[in-house]
Amino acid sequence: MRWYSPLYMGESVKNSRMFYKFKLEHTKDFTGVYCIVLSETAGELLEICSGENLRRNYRIMGEPLIVGLAGTRHEAFELTGRILLDIHKKTGGTDVHGFFGKVKEQ
């Protein structure tokens, strides 16, 4: 899995970044976290998927770039909005792929 640095974190998971990264990379059925990934689908910006679904399907999806983690689905929607606002403030547009393509991954 590829991880964006600095990773956007929801309030409920921000103090456990390494724990969630380890669990997502090494546990098959990991629940309790939602991942925000850069979409590979044409015309889409970001996707929200549960950690369990990401872990089960990440080989099918290719190597998704994980840009954020949230503890609940609602928090994931809020975090996605925060990411898009941050990109708009920094670039003046909504070129999500261009923004994350220019940054360093960890």
Is residue 53 in a domain? Answer: yes
Q: What is the pLDDT of residues 24-44, one digit of tens each?
A: 888 776 778 999 999 887 778
Is residue 106 in a domain? Answer: no
Containing structural domain, residue 57: 2-100
Is residue 44 in a domain? Answer: yes
Is residue 35 in a domain? Answer: yes
**SS (HEC) of the chain:** CEEEEEEEECCCCHHHHHHHHHHHHHCCCCCCCEEEEECCCCCCCEEEEEHHHHHHHCCCCCCCEEEEEECCHHHHHHHHHHHHHHHHHHHCCCCHHHHHHCCCEC
Is residue 17 in a domain? Answer: yes
Is residue 84 in a domain? Answer: yes
pTM of the complete model: 0.85
Query: Based on the structure, what is the number of domains in the chain?
Result: 1
Is residue 105 in a domain? Answer: no
pLDDT score, position 54: 81
Is residue 12 in a domain? Answer: yes
pLDDT score, position 7: 93
pLDDT score, position 17: 87
Question: What is the average pLDDT across 38-55?
Answer: 84
Is 104 a residue whose pLDDT tops 50?
Answer: no
